[in-house]
């Protein structure tokens, strides 16, 4: 952290408190945020934070991204899919799109005119990306895409989607390519916004591609079959983003629970006065502090370009397992109120459960780590 990042934190916190915190129940009911949140965020400079200014971005680093995701988590918001838009989609386009396409798409992501999504998971394929069925067949200077995707964050609002497809079904991982699809393209359809246990205000949707024709220029990278490598190159940042949110969520839950147990009384004294409460909170605070130290180390490594696949997997595994444990203990200390959805701790409990699944399950993280032992 430095003075610039401190100032940016004030901006991010103000936006999250003003635009996000008070809308959670309404967004949960409608299963998506208001579209105008994206344009408001673009106006104040919260989109494409770490994209160079020449493409309309903020010209910052991952540190700016981390600050925004921390403040979003601390505001209690689980609906705005900004981490996918900023930290994932924008960077796939920056790293692999042609210069012409970068200059066309990135400024739109920065302004909020476009919302970005990435579509990897399919109804029959989760962690095994080699097994995807969505096909892209070359037809002259176009690709024709057919298939379906599910569990797609920002699916209802997306204007551009980075789609994992098979360009060579017989080549396994080497047959996977990434193609950017603008959702205004004929043949693209959105399915339902999915009814989830947590993150209920986030527009996680099904997407369908029925003879969707896109120019070959929309292929990310200079040749087909590079998609799996590109995914492996970008996944460490995605997993680090999940770790950032997990640690901020852990810290926020501990703070809320300390406050609640000092105010709530039982048997004539504050709940905090009982030894069990103090010991549970001491454990939770320690888990959060250790996780914070490891996360900060990983962020510093990432800013130097030194965070490897193993390190990112460790960060995601450790922090997501810990946040689930810590928030579950916090819910217990809230008692019955911890199970009521109007209490932020209840929403947090439901929201964080997915963190052990998306971005690669905890089991996949262990497998990745074990390969280097």
What residues act catalytically?
238
Which residues does 112 contact at the CB level (< 8 Å), separation at least 6? 38, 39, 40, 41, 42, 43, 47
Beta strands in the chain (DSSP E): 116-119, 135-139, 142-152, 160-166, 176-182, 188-193, 205-215, 265-266, 269-270
Is 163 in contact with 119 (CB distance < 8 Å)?
Answer: yes
Yes or no: say if 57 and 102 are a contact pair by the CB < 8 Å rule: no
Q: Is 335 left (phi over 0), alpha (psi -120 to 50) or beta?
A: left
Kind of pairing between the strands at 116-119 and 135-139: unpaired
DSSP string, 211-278: EEEEEGGGBSSSSTT-HHHHHHHHHHHHHHHHHHHHHHHHHHHHHHHHHHHHH-EETTEEGGGSHHHH
Bridge pairing between strands 142-152 and 205-215: antiparallel
The answer to whether 131 and 76 are in contact (CB under 8 A) is no
DSSP 8-state class, residue 173: G
**Phi and psi, residue 132, nearest 5°:** -65, 150
Q: How far is CA 338 from the centre of its chain?
A: 25
Q: Report the C-alpha gap between 360 and 79 in whole angstroms.
A: 20
Contact 334, 281 (CB under 8 A): no
């Amino acid at each position: 952290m430095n003075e610039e990042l401190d100032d940016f934190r004030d901006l991010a916190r103000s936006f999250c408190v003003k635009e996000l915190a008070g809308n959670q129940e309404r967004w949960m009911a409608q299963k998506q945020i208001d579209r105008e949140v994206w344009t408001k965020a673009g106006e104040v400079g919260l989109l494409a934070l770490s994209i160079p200014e020449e493409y309309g971005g903020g010209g910052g680093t991952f540190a700016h991204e981390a600050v925004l995701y921390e403040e979003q988590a601390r505001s209690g918001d689980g609906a705005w899919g900004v981490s996918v838009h900023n930290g994932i989609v924008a960077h796939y386009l920056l790293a692999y799109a042609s210069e012409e396409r970068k200059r066309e798409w990135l400024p739109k992501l920065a302004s909020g005119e476009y919302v970005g999504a990435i579509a990897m998971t399919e109804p029959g394929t989760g962690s095994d990306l080699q097994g995807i069925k969505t096909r892209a067949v070359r037809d002259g200077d176009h690709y024709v895409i057919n298939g379906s995707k599910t569990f797609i964050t920002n699916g209802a609002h997306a204007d551009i989607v980075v789609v994992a497809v098979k360009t060579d079904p017989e080549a396994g991982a080497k047959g996977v390519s990434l193609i950017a699809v603008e959702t205004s393209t004929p043949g693209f359809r959105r399915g339902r916004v999915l009814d989830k246990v947590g993150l209920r205000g986030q527009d996680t949707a099904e997407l369908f591609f029925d003879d969707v024709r896109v120019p070959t220029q929309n292929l990310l990278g200079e040749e087909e079959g590079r998609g799996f490598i590109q995914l492996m190159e970008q996944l460490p940042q995605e997993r680090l983003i999940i770790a950032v949110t997990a640690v901020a969520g852990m810290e926020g839950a501990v703070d809320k629970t300390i406050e609640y147990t000092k105010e709530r009384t039982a048997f004539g004294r504050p709940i905090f006065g009982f030894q069990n409460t103090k010991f549970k909170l001491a454990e939770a605070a320690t888990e959060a502090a250790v996780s914070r130290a490891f996360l900060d180390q990983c962020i510093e490594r990432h800013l130097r370009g030194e965070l490897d696949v193993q390190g990112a997997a460790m960060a995601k595994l450790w922090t997501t397992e810990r946040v689930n444990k810590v928030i579950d203990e916090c819910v217990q200390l809230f008692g019955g109120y911890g199970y009521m959805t109007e209490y932020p701790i209840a929403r947090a409990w439901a929201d964080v459960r997915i963190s052990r699944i998306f971005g690669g399950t905890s089991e996949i993280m262990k497998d990745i780590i074990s390969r280097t032992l």
